[in-house]
Structure 1
Amino acid sequence: MSLTRTKRLRQALAGKRAVMAPGVVDAMYARLVAEAGFEAMYMTGAGTSATRLGYPDVGLLTMTEMVDNATRIADASDVPLIADADNGFGGPLNVRRAIQLYERGGVAAIHLEDQVLPKRCGHLSGKQLISAADMVAKVKAAVDARVDPDFVVIARTDALSVDGREAAFDRAEMYREAGADVIFVESPGPDDLPHVAPRFPGVPLLYNMATSGKTPFLKREEIEALGFKLIIYPNWLLLSAMEAARKTLEVLKTEETIASVAPNVMSFKEFFDMARMAEVQELEARYGTPENSRTGY
């Protein structure tokens, strides 16, 4: 019997190496991550807001929109998915419902943050925090709400950039005591990083390799040496694709033909292979008739 995605994520977090989780925003990115052989992936909230709304991550997406995106991503790949759950979309009862929906959608882990509504991306300025006691209640609600005991609850604190290192560590310690499986101290700089793991011995820690540059772009082995067990890379795939798309548009605008771009992009067949055309064809052959069955590209 194969292991569940939650169990596989738990085992990976218990291993010697830090788990690398590239950021994805939709099903096709999930399939790219699976093809590359990563053992986890991460649904970025900022990327989801950007691709679904064209707006920054300032709390505009609803619970159902976030869960819908996570469910589609989880359905596209067997790679364990860690999903952004913002601040739980309200109070503890909202958190309970969010956990239940994410879990039913096939997500293996979520992270909750201690910001007020409306929230902001963790690497933006202007963040405000709820009380530590209120966040503790949310963490307890999240832990209580899960059905699968292997579902991973990650507690994030944004207090570092608001109230300083010790306040952030104090909050994180309270969240761990409330039952969080992984601790996520957001936006640590080079001076902060050496102090995180010593404060939380034996606790799995998350390293957010965001594109802002506030947290340094270290190699996996360097992050492991600092004591972190999970590394997320939120928007790197999306930003890479956006830059490539911008260059394609520039070529199309100036040359008025796509000919020079064509040799450098994924082929038509590769694209449909990634979209599992072979699986569709097999199903059409199984259920179709000679008149309505389609084959080939």
Structure 2
Amino acid sequence: MLYSTTTAPAKRARLRASLATGNLQRFPGAFNPLSAKLIEQEGFEGVYISGAVLSADLGLPDIGLTTLTEVAGRAQQIARVTDLPAIVDADTGFGEPMNVARTIQTLEDAGLAGCHIEDQVNPKRCGHLDGKAVVGLDVAVRRIKAAVDARRDPDFLVMARTDVRAIEGLDAAVDRAKALVDAGADAIFPEAMRTLAEFAAIRAAVDVPVLANMTEFGKSELFTVEQLADVGINIAIFPVSLLRIAMGAARSALRTLAEEGSLTSRLGDMQHRSELYELLDYESYNHFDSSIFTYEP
């Protein structure tokens, strides 16, 4: 009832333990708290909170327009309703190294299990668009060092994302990944890898967990979790998938409503009221209310 009974430190410890097994962890992207509950109900290992989704939820493009307050607030709403660990996209850390430090502590307070900080310049662009630019290695390293130094819970996962592959090539991405691990990164997120061999090259270069971003319509081929596991990937995220499917279904339903005047023909496509109530655990709320409201006039 209400929020998760699993504490944030326990979720972080769970994520660390899961990564230590070497098994691939599947993190679908939640676009709101309700979808996070569905991800848990369907048996996935974690919840991902995408910066692109948070921007889109506000009707904005993913170009660094969101603030730390907006991201942390929405991420907290999502993370607190599930027992699963949640990782959030923290973009470039919302500023210089001191801002990165504040970002980490704010996300810790919001109950996240971890985040990733990227090496793009401000303002950033979606990682699968052309025209990106990255900061120098010295700046990228300072961001990660600031993040690691700022955290108070050693289990909070500080992941370094690098976008350098699309700009300078795979060799540069490998070199940067190594440097970011040396700076203290707990995991590496190599953005816009094009092949399994490229993921394998990053995997071979570092001794920390590696994340694969399986976003549709991007630079990377959509590999299966089995294919990713075979090359040693530890986390697979599907950041915008549920939002894209939900928006596609919503558009289709609106067109049906416009054409037919009702949605009777689409009832089979909808989540039933009983399923929604089960997901929301209505019964627990009813029990709680009846057990304390004992006043009789």
- 2:47 corresponding residue in structure 1: 41
Structure 1 residue corresponding to 2:202, chosen from 196, 215, 218: 196
Does structure 1 retain, via aligned residues, the 8 Å contact 2:199–2:233?
A: no
Structure 2 residue corresponding to 1:269, chosen from 274, 282, 293: 274
**Rounded Cα–Cα distance in structure 2 between residues aligned with 1:176 and 1:97:** 21
Q: Does 1:175 align with 2:180?
A: yes
1:290 deviates by 5.7
Structure 1 residue corresponding to 2:245, chosen from 219, 240, 254: 240
Q: Does 1:69 align with 2:110?
A: no
**Rounded Cα–Cα distance in structure 1 between residues aligned with 2:293 and 2:73:** 30
Secondary structure in 1 matching 2:232: coil
**Rounded Cα–Cα distance in structure 1 between residues aligned with 2:162 and 2:267:** 45
Q: Deviations over 1:78-116 (max 9, x none)?
A: 110011000000011111111111111110010000011
Q: Which amino acid aligns with 1:32?
A: L
The TM-score, its normalising length taken from structure 2, stands at 0.93
1:280 deviates by 2.4
- 1:125 corresponding residue in structure 2: 130
Secondary structure in 1 matching 2:80: helix
Structure 2 residue corresponding to 1:18, chosen from 13, 24, 27: 24
Q: Does 1:284 align with 2:279?
A: no
Secondary structure in 2 matching 1:61: coil
**Rounded Cα–Cα distance in structure 2 between residues aligned with 1:212 and 1:55:** 19
Does structure 1 retain, via aligned residues, the 8 Å contact 2:174–2:201?
A: no
Q: Does 1:6 align with 2:6?
A: no
Give unmatched runs, 5+ long, in structure 2: 1-5
1:139 deviates by 0.5
Secondary structure in 2 matching 1:245: helix
Q: Deviations over 1:260-290 (max 9, x none)?
A: 1123311122223322322322332233356
Identity %: 40
Give unmatched runs, 5+ long, in structure 1: 293-297
Q: Does 1:100 align with 2:105?
A: yes
Structure 1 segment 212-223 matched on structure 2, within 5 A: 212-223=217-228
**Rounded Cα–Cα distance in structure 2 between residues aligned with 1:77 and 1:194:** 32
Q: Deviations over 1:60-86 (max 9, x none)?
A: 110000000110011111110011000
The TM-score, its normalising length taken from structure 1, stands at 0.93
Number of equivalent positions: 289
Does structure 1 retain, via aligned residues, the 8 Å contact 2:192–2:219?
A: yes
Q: Which amino acid aligns with 1:69?
A: R
**Rounded Cα–Cα distance in structure 1 between residues aligned with 2:240 and 2:187:** 21
Q: Which amino acid aligns with 1:163?
A: E
Secondary structure in 1 matching 2:61: coil
**Rounded Cα–Cα distance in structure 2 between residues aligned with 1:28 and 1:135:** 35
**Rounded Cα–Cα distance in structure 2 between residues aligned with 1:6 and 1:198:** 26
Does structure 1 retain, via aligned residues, the 8 Å contact 2:192–2:218?
A: no
- 1:30 corresponding residue in structure 2: 36
Q: Does 1:225 align with 2:243?
A: no
Q: Does 1:142 align with 2:147?
A: yes
Secondary structure in 1 matching 2:264: coil
**Rounded Cα–Cα distance in structure 1 between residues aligned with 2:248 and 2:212:** 25
Does structure 1 retain, via aligned residues, the 8 Å contact 2:177–2:202?
A: no
After superposing the two structures, state which structure 1 stretch, 67-76 or 122-131, moved more: 122-131
